[in-house]
Amino acid sequence: MTHQPTADAGTEFDRQVGNLVERDYPKTAGLTPQEFDALVTPLRDLVTDIGLGGHEAADTGRVPFLLVVTRDVVPVEETMPRTTLHGKPKPGFVDRSFEPGALERFVAVQETGIAGQRAYLLLDVERGEEFCGVVPNDAMATVHSRGRTLLTIEEGIALITHFPEILVKNKCFSLGGSRSGDRRVPAIWISQTAPKLGWCWEGNPHTWLGMASAGSRRLAP
């Protein structure tokens, strides 16, 4: 069943926290339940003024906010296998095209302003299927021209963790907010009936691959 909209942002925040707990984020991070709670709870007050309205992630490709926990807490190699396609059991995976040590070099670009952050909120998220078939460099330029921000690897994983129904055939997405200094742009798409974290060249368009973006980020006070 598609995730249904809630009338209260605090309830949705609690659902997302529960998602991470169910996926053993605290244990994997070596945190006690109390320590994990202390990490994410300060963010709850930041969602109180977010109007959720009606949304269906699978239909619109948009969600009001995401709770994001970065690789400084749980490594990407641990969070990606905790994702699945909606209604499917097979765990997500990192593609072998990432050579040893490559993931560590794909870091958040300076414009995101999240260096050193462990947990925060991502607001007004779009899957970005309008950019399917568009050269990634051009898509990223358009996103910037709209005053929006590109998603990082951790944010893309958070999106399909909290809303697995948003990853569907022919509406997958690139994550231009994480770069390694070369021409590769990370992306999440479907492979072997599971989510896959891979990459594509910044100059090569794909008909099934858009560019995910968000309106802004909110950091803990």
How confident is the model over 83-94, as pLDDT tens digits? 999 999 999 999
What's the rounded Cα separation, in Å, for the pair 210 and 174? 6
Q: Which helix (H) or strand (E) holds 188?
A: strand 184-191
Domain ranges of the chain: 9-219
What pLDDT sits at residue 4? Answer: 44
Q: How far is CA 198 from CA 91, 124, 156, 168, 187, in A?
A: 15, 24, 12, 16, 5
Output the six-digit token pair for 168: 């569907």
Backbone angles phi, psi at 177, to 5 degrees: -80, -10
Half-sphere exposure of 99 (CA within 13 A, CB side): 3
Instruction: For 11-61, write each residue's pLDDT tens digit.
Output: 999 999 999 999 999 999 999 999 999 999 999 989 876 765 444 555 789
What's the rounded Cα separation, in Å, for the pair 160 and 154? 10
Burial degree of 199 (CB within 10 A; 0-12, 13-18, 19+): buried
What pLDDT sits at residue 51? Answer: 60
Backbone angles phi, psi at 10, to 5 degrees: -65, -40
Residue by residue, pLDDT tens for the chain (221 residues) are 344 444 589 999 999 999 999 999 999 999 999 999 999 999 998 987 676 544 455 578 999 999 999 999 999 999 999 999 999 999 999 999 999 999 999 999 999 999 889 999 999 999 999 999 999 999 999 999 999 999 999 999 999 999 999 999 999 999 999 999 999 999 999 999 999 999 999 999 999 999 999 999 999 87
3-state SS class at 34: helix
Q: C-alpha 150: how far from its chain's center?
A: 10
